[in-house]
Amino acid sequence: MKLFFRKEEYTILLYRLFLAYVFYFVARFLFFLYNYDVLEVHSFGEFFRLSYYGLAFDTAAILYVNSLFIILSLLPLRFAMSSWYQKLVFYVYFITNLIAYALNYVDFIYYKFNFARTTLSVLDVVKNEGNKTAMFFRFMLSYWHVYLLFFGVSLLWIYLYRRVKLHPLEYKLPTKSYYISSFIGFVVIGTLIVGGIRGGDFRKSTRPINLVDASRHVKKMEQADLVLNTTFAFIRTFGKNSIKKIDYKVTPEEIQFYIKPIKQYDNNPPSKPNVVVIITESMGREYLASFNKDSGIDNYVGYMPFLDSLAQHSLIFPNAFANGSKSIHGMSSVLSGIPSFVDAFTSSSYSNQEIQSLVSVLNDLNYDTSFFHGAPNGSMGFLGFSNILGFDHYYGMEEYGNDDDFDGSWGIWDEPFLQFMKTTLDEKEQPFFSTVFTVSSHEPFKIPEKYNEKFPKGHIQMHQPIGYTDYAFQQFFEAAKKEPWFENTIFVITADHPNQVYYEVYNKVINRRAVPILIYKPDGSLAGIEEKLAQQIDVYPTVLDLIGYKKPFRSWGRSLVSEDGVEPFAINHNASQYHMLRGNYICTFDGEVATGFYDIDDKSLENNLIANKTPEMEATEKACRAFLQDYFERIVDKKLSLDK
């Protein structure tokens, strides 16, 4: 009895799967070309080496996506080679493959904004946008070359698929033999598929490959994203909830020592100044000269002269970092001291709970609280989260009421919207707390036409719009300082996350979260440069310390103007790993174990010191574990308020 009489069918199945490998390689090569300047891959030899390791991730993605196609190709049906059945197989193959394959093309452009392969969390970004159709067509216009590449490559894939066809044969073997051989083939191929999806390892003791495994064979953390493909990243985060309690074997005493999640300050007399927090869209630390005096960058040029002038009379933190990578991460980090790592806290099922935050505390002190965002109301989920935090007022594009100032993409231009904010604040009773989230310094990197020649275009697209936003700040402050409320106001200026970078130092993996933090008091009582580590979640406790708030409150951050016994640190998540900066070291942590220790100045993470662990390194890992254990426990158990 011939067991392999379906040889032609199996051969063509392998050919069609091989085509998927070819085009995933094409996508990786195009991703490399589009992002060459940020991937830290400087030779084709290195590219091919990383592509080899990427085969495991390509295999998993291809087998996930093609599972239905493979089943249809293996079913022991006598009409499997008929024209109508092969047409069905054709449509299943390309509908599933091209949808999944297209995700890789998104990262040709999006990667430089996110510095990570796109995962399912991208849906958190777009689900609250009301102008998805307009955004899609704008992206088509702006990035037509990516769409053209995708359609061209897809047509080539279809052409090559059709070049090799099945030829109907007359089978005279007994039906029993047909089914037996088909069953054996199904078992063998099915076993190989399971192994391929797991990453080539059949052992029960090992887990299937995940995003973090892309870092196993790289010399620099950035290279892990070349090993990965976006289809795999998207699939492996589907149905996954990264927000769950994990016992990191850290005692309550250790959490108190390393993190001190319940803060209480008694350093300043009680007062009720106004507080204005400005969260600037995409304002990386790179753009401000005042934050780069000791950066060592030759021929440095800054693009925010007004903020640089304000920094001369402010307390600034040139060693500060964002806790997340997206705008929706920035709001919760700055205002409630809740960072986001793999998934956005604001989009999780745990966000709808009582949260002690800068907003709730100031509400209790009878502040008028307001949130300003010039985008369509509800964009980015800010309206919903502002309601959870308890803002008294939300001012968006609807409240602004003049669509003539719409930038055509994201919202109202920064200059008129900040003036709207100023006039609204003029009418409020003091004390008030107000936050504004700007919109103009963003892709597609446009400014109002009347200013086309006013701001330097610089070296990258971001330089001109960030100059425009700086000008909008200048106009706001010049108008606000004429008002009686101005002198009694604390201004905090920071960013949600960085954006495009020009100088190589800011392309280093750790510096991809480098943002400025600036605190300005018009009376001049706060000024200077503080070099200690700072992060977005420090804003909330710092403001409460400055106004002399005496009660205990929940905060994973620390006051930037007082000592509280906790070693300054910064934590975020990048390249599938947690990064904890503390003392003299950077710890990389994969969620289970420390994978590396690096000197605090080794922002590229090039020289792993894990083989020579020191007590300070162990303390840094312990601090990371303590933070994550308390973070997940409080979120999952809904203990983000001291009343719980």
CB proximity list for 358: less than 8 A, separation 6 or greater: 275, 277, 335, 336, 337, 433, 539, 540, 543, 544
Domain assignment present for residue 562? The answer is yes
Q: Burial of 640 by CB count in 10 Å (0-12 exposed, 13-18 middle, 19+ buried)? A: buried
User: Which of 235, 241, 238, 239 is CA-nearest to residue 63?
Assistant: 235
Domain assignment present for residue 246? The answer is no
Using the predicted structure, report yes or no on whether residue 576 has a pLDDT greater than 50: yes
Same domain, 213 and 340: no
pLDDT, one tens digit per residue, over 397-423 is: 999 999 999 998 899 999 999 999 999
- Position 4 scores a pLDDT of 46
Q: Where are the beta strands (DSSP E) in 343-426?
A: 368-373, 393-395
Span 315-331, mean pLDDT? 93
- Position 346 scores a pLDDT of 82
In degrees, to the nearest 5, what angle opens at C-alpha 534 toward C-alphas 530 and 536?
Answer: 130
- Position 114 scores a pLDDT of 72
Task: State what percent of residues in the chain have pLDDT above 90.
Answer: 67
Confidence category of residue 124, pLDDT binned at 50, 70, 90: low
Same domain, 380 and 495: yes
- Position 121 scores a pLDDT of 63
- Position 125 scores a pLDDT of 57
Which CATH number does the domain housing residue 514 bear?
A: 3.40.720.10
pLDDT, one tens digit per residue, over 166-215 is: 776 554 545 666 666 677 776 777 777 777 777 665 444 345 777 767 86
- Position 138 scores a pLDDT of 75
Q: Which of 202, 236, 270 is the last residue of a domain?
A: 236
- Do residues 476 and 421 make contact, with C-beta atoms less than 8 angstroms apart? yes
Span 417-431, mean pLDDT? 98
- Position 105 scores a pLDDT of 94
- Position 23 scores a pLDDT of 97
Domain assignment present for residue 642? The answer is no
Same domain, 84 and 208: yes
Same domain, 201 and 169: yes
Span 427-440, mean pLDDT? 97
Task: State what percent of residues in the chain have pLDDT above 70.
Answer: 91
Domain assignment present for residue 290? The answer is yes
* Residues linked to residue 570 through DSSP beta bridges, in sequence order: 581
Q: What whole-number distance in Å separates Cα of residue 369 and Cα of residue 393?
A: 6
Same domain, 224 and 263: no
Q: Which of 171, 204, 236 is the last residue of a domain?
A: 236
Using the predicted structure, report yes or no on whether residue 498 has a pLDDT greater than 80: yes
Same domain, 178 and 47: yes
Using the predicted structure, report yes or no on whether residue 549 has a pLDDT greater than 50: yes
- Position 557 scores a pLDDT of 97
- Position 11 scores a pLDDT of 86
Range of the domain at 49: 7-236
Same domain, 128 and 266: no
- Do residues 476 and 422 make contact, with C-beta atoms less than 8 angstroms apart? yes
Span 222-249, mean pLDDT? 84
Confidence category of residue 337, pLDDT binned at 50, 70, 90: very high
Q: What residue type is assigned to position 437 of the chain?
A: F
- Do residues 149 and 30 make contact, with C-beta atoms less than 8 angstroms apart? yes
Query: Residue ranges of the alpha helices (H) in 130-216?
Result: 132-142, 144-163, 175-198
Same domain, 269 and 376: yes
Domain assignment present for residue 247? The answer is no
pLDDT, one tens digit per residue, over 2-43 is: 444 567 778 888 999 999 999 999 999 999 999 988 888 888
Confidence category of residue 518, pLDDT binned at 50, 70, 90: very high
- Position 75 scores a pLDDT of 80
More confident residue, 246 or 216: 246
Domain assignment present for residue 628? The answer is yes
Q: Which of 236, 271, 287 is the last residue of a domain?
A: 236
Q: Indicate the Cα dihedral angle 67, 69, 70, 76, nearest 10°.
A: 130
Domain assignment present for residue 40? The answer is yes
Same domain, 180 and 268: no
Please, what is the average pLDDT of the chain?
89
Same domain, 300 and 391: yes
Task: Work out whether strand 577-582 and strand 585-589 pair parallel, antiparallel, or are unpaired.
Answer: antiparallel
Edge to edge, the sheet with strand 274-280 lists 393-395, 368-373, 432-437, 274-280, 489-495, 517-520, 315-317, 528-529
DSSP state of 571: E
Domain assignment present for residue 457? The answer is yes
Same domain, 408 and 444: yes
Same domain, 229 and 256: no
Which long-range contacts link 13-20 to residues 24+ away (Cβ below 8 Å)? 13/70, 13/73, 13/74, 15/164, 16/69, 16/73, 16/93, 16/161, 17/62, 17/66, 17/70, 19/157, 19/160, 19/161, 20/62, 20/65, 20/66, 20/97
Q: What whole-number distance in Å separates Cα of residue 71 and Cα of residue 253?
A: 55
- Under DSSP, is residue 338 helix (H, G, I), strand (E, B) or coil? coil
Using the predicted structure, report yes or no on whether residue 258 has a pLDDT greater than 80: yes
- Position 235 scores a pLDDT of 86
User: Which of 261, 262, 257, 263 is CA-nearest to residue 622?
Assistant: 257
Span 532-547, mean pLDDT? 98
Q: Tally the domains of the chain.
A: 2
More confident residue, 596 or 212: 596
Using the predicted structure, report yes or no on whether residue 632 has a pLDDT greater than 70: yes
Q: What whole-number distance in Å separates Cα of residue 316 and Cα of residue 294?
A: 13
- Do residues 51 and 200 make contact, with C-beta atoms less than 8 angstroms apart? no
